[in-house]
């Protein structure tokens, strides 16, 4: 009987985490500039994020980063305030590791959000930017991301757009969603 307790605890944790992060109708707004099949050119921002940077392998960094950020939005801050977030949860490779970000909802400046209890969390403004985007379903593993990045770069070249070397992985689905039902995007920043 005891071996069943840990999987049950983990399942309850994932369901609770998913409900706290992913709410229908809470997607980050954007302006669509061009759309063609799974590809789109969008303008985002400005918006506020809670960010933590975790070194190491992508999936392990993502899992650790989500736990840290989940603590912040569920009261791990100077005001013990629960914060609302929008989807997607994003990850981006930086010089110091993987930048994991939750998009904070609310009409306030970054400085007006409560100070995180954990010094690994930074609340900051993301400026207005344009991105080329590819939508894809399924598990966002490294092989799929590499394949979709090549497709996205081909789209950018075909449309004679100029891209920067900044790619963001955007995850929309709760962690318990079966792989074939997951919604993901890859964003490539444009000049």
Mean of the pLDDT values across residues 11-37? 72
Q: What does the DSSP assignment read for 99-122?
A: EEEEEEPSSS-GGGSPPBSSTT-E
State the CATH number of the domain containing residue 26: 3.20.80.10
Half-sphere exposure of 85 (CA within 13 A, CB side): 26
Is the pLDDT higher at 175 or at 106?
Answer: 106
Query: In which band, very low, low, confident or very high, does the pLDDT at 175 lie, cut at 50, 70 and 90?
Result: confident
Question: What was the pLDDT predicted at 15?
Answer: 57
Number of domains, the chain: 1
Contact 14, 175 (CB under 8 A): yes
Higher pLDDT, 90 or 175: 90
The pLDDT of residue 174 is 87
CA 88 – CA 85 distance, rounded (Å):
9
| pLDDT of amino acid 51 | 99
Question: Which domain, by its residues, includes 50?
Answer: 2-190
Average pLDDT of the chain, as a whole number: 91
| Predicted local confidence at residue 23, as pLDDT | 46
- pTM (2 d.p.): 0.85
């Amino acid at each position: 009987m005891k071996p069943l307790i840990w999987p049950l605890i983990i399942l309850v944790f994932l369901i609770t985490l998913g409900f706290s992060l992913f709410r229908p109708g809470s997607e980050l707004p954007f302006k669509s500039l061009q759309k063609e099949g799974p590809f789109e050119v969008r303008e985002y921002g400005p918006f506020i994020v809670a960010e933590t940077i975790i070194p190491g392998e992508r999936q392990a960094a993502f899992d650790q980063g989500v736990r840290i950020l989940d603590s912040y939005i569920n009261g791990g801050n100077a005001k013990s305030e629960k914060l609302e977030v929008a989807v997607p949860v994003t990850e981006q490779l930086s010089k110091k590791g993987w930048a994991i970000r939750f998009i904070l909802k609310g009409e306030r400046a970054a400085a007006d959000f409560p100070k995180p209890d954990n010094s690994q969390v930074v609340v900051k403004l993301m400026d207005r930017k344009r991105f080329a985007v590819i939508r894809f379903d399924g598990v966002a593993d490294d092989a799929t991301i590499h394949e979709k990045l090549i497709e996205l770069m081909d789209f950018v070249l075909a449309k004679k757009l100029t891209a920067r070397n900044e790619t963001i992985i955007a995850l929309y689905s709760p962690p318990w969603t079966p792989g074939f039902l997951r919604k993901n995007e890859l964003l490539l920043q444009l000049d």
